[in-house]
Amino acid sequence: MRKVYTSVDLGSSTIKIMVGEIFNKKLNVLGTAKVESRGIKKGVIVDANEIISSLREAISNIESKLNITIDKVIASVPSYYAEFEIVNGSVDINLDDNNKVRGSDIVNVLKYAAKSKLKPDRELVSIIPIYFTLDGRKNISDPKGLVGKKLGVKAMMVTTPSKNVQSIISIFEAMGIEVIDVNLGSICDYQEFKNNFTKDNLGAIINIGSDITTVSLFNKGIIVNSEIIQIGGKNIDNDISYVFKVDKKNAVKLKEAFATAHKKFARINDTKEVLGINNELVNINQYDISKVVMSRLTEILKLAKKQSYLLTNREISYIIITGGTSEVPGMSYLVEECLGSNAKVGSIDTIGIRSCEYSTVSGLIRCFDTKLELRDKEFTMIDFDDENNKNMNIDNNSVLSKVFGYFFDS
């Protein structure tokens, strides 16, 4: 079975969708779609009809590109009021297979660990094994195939208020689309940028979105805390609009296609004429607009750094900046100037996506596949019995059982 998944990131300014295939542990992007987001403010759904309209546009876009029908997705959820708790559990291993640990045993022990601590008004969005134990042996990363009698786990359980998850699921259900899994956007960002250094150290992932900036702390690859700052790329747009007397649409264009993140890279003699709010041409100097952008970005970065150190009393070894706002030219220089030499803008080298604004949707797919592999499950989100999908150049041999409830069999 070829592993093809569809992921959705519901942002405040844009909705991004990706259809990707995992082959030989690598992500092959089959298609993406990005549309303006309506009905979401500061990461929270405020108008269901508006967001459904935006989603329909994005889904129609990618369905037309790939000649498929999308009826299953994995989706990101915001970090608002997320809680992180270490949980433990142990179960007897099924004796049917010579006492060898199977994927079903891993599902059972994770289920047991989570159920013992899960509160009634909260939803499980992720449970990440820190290590497994087998008959007292510790620090086992993947116990499948090992022989023993009792399997244990120490894991990080991530939960959010139930309404955070249910509001997203209900939106898709209204469109006839099934949400197979959800995950915290921050965890997905980490999955996209992780390497051998991040796996062994304490660090922060900072996602500068449109309305909000999310600061998340990871210790040896495990998320331990996350906080949201009420500032983002739209604040830059507002600054440009106010200072240069242009509307928000032109402000966004100027930020993305003309300004630089650091005045060092701006050209004093480079100017651009745009229509102002009073219907008169406004002549904007690149150096002047870059100073405005730099000022606000510096504020965001310093606030994010302060927040990251409020989340821990230990020294942070790395900081990775991601999100659409991180794409402003010259950002890498400003990041190092504000945050130090251990900070950098994330780099994505997956064919088909080069921009950090896609780190969450690509990370969603990577996280989902990692969960499946650990639990010894297979799944695809493309129904090849559907006439509409037969022309897509991906084959499928079987459709296995639905994986819902975060991989816990019902």
Please say if the pLDDT value at position 95 is more than 70.
yes
Determine the CATH number of domain 201-347. Answer: 3.30.420.40
Q: Is 202 in contact with 315 (CB distance < 8 Å)?
A: yes
Q: What is the pLDDT of residue 20?
A: 94
User: Dihedral (C-alpha) 80, 81, 84, 90: value to the nearest 10 degrees?
Assistant: -100
Backbone angles phi, psi at 349, to 5 degrees: -115, 20
Q: What is the pLDDT of residue 196?
A: 94
Q: Is 202 helix (H, G, I), strand (E, B) or coil?
A: strand
Q: Is 136 helix (H, G, I), strand (E, B) or coil?
A: coil
Q: What is the pLDDT of residue 396?
A: 32
- The CA angle 358-364-367, to the nearest 5 degrees, is 135
Q: Which residue has the higher pLDDT, 167 or 397?
A: 167
pLDDT tens readout for residues 47-76: 999 999 999 999 999 999 999 999 999 999
Cα(354)–Cα(281) distance, integer angstroms: 34
Cα(327)–Cα(332) distance, integer angstroms: 9
* Region of residue 112 (phi > 0: left; psi between -120 and 50: alpha; otherwise: beta): alpha
Q: Is 130 helix (H, G, I), strand (E, B) or coil?
A: strand
* Region of residue 286 (phi > 0: left; psi between -120 and 50: alpha; otherwise: beta): alpha
N-term to C-term CA, the chain: 23
Please say if the pLDDT value at position 398 is more than 60.
no
Q: What is the pLDDT of residue 43?
A: 78
Q: Which residue has the higher pLDDT, 26 or 406?
A: 26
| Fold: same for 83-160 and 201-347 | no
Q: Is 368 in contact with 375 (CB distance < 8 Å)?
A: no
Cα(174)–Cα(49) distance, integer angstroms: 10
Residue owning tokens 């108008």:
47
Backbone angles phi, psi at 351, to 5 degrees: -65, 130
Please say if the pLDDT value at position 5 is more than 70.
yes
CATH second-level architecture of 83-160? 2-Layer Sandwich (3.30)
Nearest to 201 by CA among 305, 342, 337, 79: 342
Please say if the pLDDT value at position 281 is more than 80.
yes
Q: What is the pLDDT of residue 400?
A: 22
Please say if the pLDDT value at position 409 is more than 60.
no
Indicate the average pLDDT of the chain. Answer: 89
Please say if the pLDDT value at position 293 is more than 70.
yes
Nearest to 195 by CA among 336, 374, 314, 320: 320
Place 383 in a pLDDT band, splitting at 50, 70 and 90. low
DSSP string, 25-55: TEEEEEEEEEEE--SEETTEE--HHHHHHHH
Q: Which residue has the higher pLDDT, 382 or 100?
A: 100
Q: What is the mean pLDDT of residues 11-40?
A: 93
Q: What is the pLDDT of residue 264?
A: 95
Q: Where is average pLDDT lowest: 131-145, 170-184, 373-387?
A: 373-387
Cα(128)–Cα(221) distance, integer angstroms: 10
Q: What is the pLDDT of residue 306?
A: 95
Sign of the dihedral defined by the CA atoms of residues 38, 43, 48, 51, in that order: positive
Please say if the pLDDT value at position 393 is more than 50.
no
- 95: Cβ–Cβ under 8 A, 6 or more apart, which residues? none
Domain ranges of the chain: 83-160, 201-347
Cα(44)–Cα(371) distance, integer angstroms: 26
Residue ranges of E strands in 96-200: 122-134, 137-140, 150-161, 178-184
Longest dimension (CA), the chain: 80
Q: Which residue has the higher pLDDT, 351 or 363?
A: 363
**Could you tell me whether strands 202-208 and 40-41 are parallel, antiparallel, or unpaired per DSSP bridges?**
unpaired
Q: What is the mean pLDDT of residues 276-293?
A: 94
Q: What is the mean pLDDT of residues 354-381?
A: 90
Q: Is 242 helix (H, G, I), strand (E, B) or coil?
A: helix
Place 97 in a pLDDT band, splitting at 50, 70 and 90. low
- 128: Cβ–Cβ under 8 A, 6 or more apart, which residues? 155, 156, 158, 187, 222, 223
Residue owning tokens 């304490």:
202
Q: Is 49 in contact with 270 (CB distance < 8 Å)?
A: no
pLDDT tens readout for residues 130-147: 999 999 899 999 999 999
Q: Where is average pLDDT lowest: 7-21, 95-109, 206-220, 396-410?
A: 396-410
pLDDT tens readout for residues 200-253: 999 999 999 999 999 999 999 999 999 999 999 999 999 999 999 999 999 999
As beta bridge partners, residue 208 has 213
Q: Is 20 in contact with 386 (CB distance < 8 Å)?
A: no
Please say if the pLDDT value at position 403 is more than 50.
no
Place 395 in a pLDDT band, splitting at 50, 70 and 90. very low
